[in-house]
Amino acid sequence: MKFKRILLKLSGEALMGARKFGIDPARLEQYALDVKSVHDKGIEIAIVIGGGNIFRGVDSEKIGIDRVQGDYMGMLATVINGMALQSAFEKLGMFTRLMSGINMDQVCEPFIKRRAERHLEKGRVVIFGAGIGNPYFTTDSTAALRAIEIHADVVLKGTRVDGVYSSDPEKNADATRYKQLSFQEAFQKGLNIMDMTAFTLCQENNLPIIVFDMNRAGNLARIMNGESAGTLIN
| 52 counts as binding ligand UDP under rule CB under 6 A | yes
Q: Contact with ligand UDP (CB under 6 A): which of 30, 86, 138, 203?
A: 138
Q: Hey, which residues does 96 pair with through a beta bridge? A: 125
| 39 counts as binding ligand UDP under rule CB under 6 A | no
In the bound complex, which residue of the shown chain has the CB atom lying closest to ligand UDP? 50
Which residue, 57 or 82, has its beta carbon nearer to ligand UDP?
57
Q: Contact with ligand UDP (CB under 6 A): which of 27, 31, 50, 186?
A: 50
| 197 counts as binding ligand UDP under rule CB under 6 A | no
Kindly calculate the radius of gyration of the chain based on its CA atoms and give it in whole angstroms. 17
Q: Contact with ligand UDP (CB under 6 A): which of 89, 111, 128, 137?
A: 137
CA distance 22 to 20: 7
Spatial CB neighbours of 76, under 8 Å, sequence gap ≥ 6: 51, 55, 102, 130
Which residue, 20 or 41, has its beta carbon nearer to ligand UDP?
20
Which residue, 131 or 208, has its beta carbon nearer to ligand UDP?
131
Within 67-86, the residues that bind ligand UDP by CB under 6 A are 71, 74-75, 77-78
CA 206 distance to own-chain centroid: 18
| 139 counts as binding ligand UDP under rule CB under 6 A | yes
**Could you write out the DSSP letters of every residue in 117-165?**
HHHHHTTPEEEEESTTSSTT--HHHHHHHHHHHTT-SEEEEEESSSSEE
**Spatial contact of 27 and 33, defined as CB atoms under 8 Å apart:** no
Helix axes 67-91, 25-39, angle to 10 degrees: 60
| 109 counts as binding ligand UDP under rule CB under 6 A | no
Q: Is 167 helix (H, G, I), strand (E, B) or coil?
A: coil
**Residue 183 CB, nearest approach to ligand UDP (Å):** 21
**Residue 162 CB, nearest approach to ligand UDP (Å):** 18
Q: Strand runs (DSSP E) across the chain, as ranges?
A: 5-10, 44-49, 96-100, 109-110, 125-129, 154-159, 164-165, 177-178, 180-181, 209-213, 231-233
| 100 counts as binding ligand UDP under rule CB under 6 A | no
| 142 counts as binding ligand UDP under rule CB under 6 A | yes
Q: Contact with ligand UDP (CB under 6 A): which of 47, 85, 119, 131?
A: 131
Contact positions toward ligand UDP, by CB under 6 A? 11-13, 50-52, 56-58, 71, 74-75, 77-78, 131-132, 134-135, 137-139, 142
